[in-house]
Amino acid sequence: MVKHRLFTTPFSSVYPHYIYKAESKGYTKEEVDTIIKWLTGYSQKGLQHQLDARTDFETFFEEAPEINPNVVKITGVICGQRVEDIEDELMQKIRYLDKLVDELARGKPIEKILRR
């Protein structure tokens, strides 16, 4: 089976796009990092290590300390698909992250983004 191209893409090559999307709407890198750390369980140091190592998305999520159990509360459409209906576990995690960054850029309060 051929892996989706996104799975082998370095997380560090997409990360600046997340930052740009947030900053262009008046939000900060720190807010994006908060979302990523909430989703994955990485510390700031752990996140920075993954970025420096140019880890691909597959490894980034495999090595994540703990996917937040509240991800089941993330619903809606991203890239034309309902995130809760995505069957491939890795693609679903990637789309969860896309959805959370998208919510930030659309002005949703961080407390709601983090499903508190």
pLDDT band of residue 1 (cuts 50, 70, 90) is low
Q: What digits encode the pLDDT tens for the residues 9-21?
A: 999 999 999 999 9
pLDDT band of residue 2 (cuts 50, 70, 90) is low
Copy the structure tokens of residue 89.
């576990």
Give the residue from 112, 19, 4, 17 showing the smallest Cα distance to 57. 4
In a domain, 1, yes or no: no
The structural domain count of the chain equals: 1
pTM listed for this prediction: 0.93
Measured between alpha carbons, how far is 54 from 38 in angstroms, rounded to an integer?
Answer: 20
In a domain, 14, yes or no: yes
Give the residue from 76, 12, 64 showing the smallest Cα distance to 38. 64
What pLDDT score was predicted for residue 116?
80
Task: Identify whether the C-beta of residue 32 lies closer than 8 Å to the C-beta of residue 22.
Answer: yes
**Residue 91 sits in which domain range?**
7-113
What are the beta bridge partners of residue 10?
Answer: 56
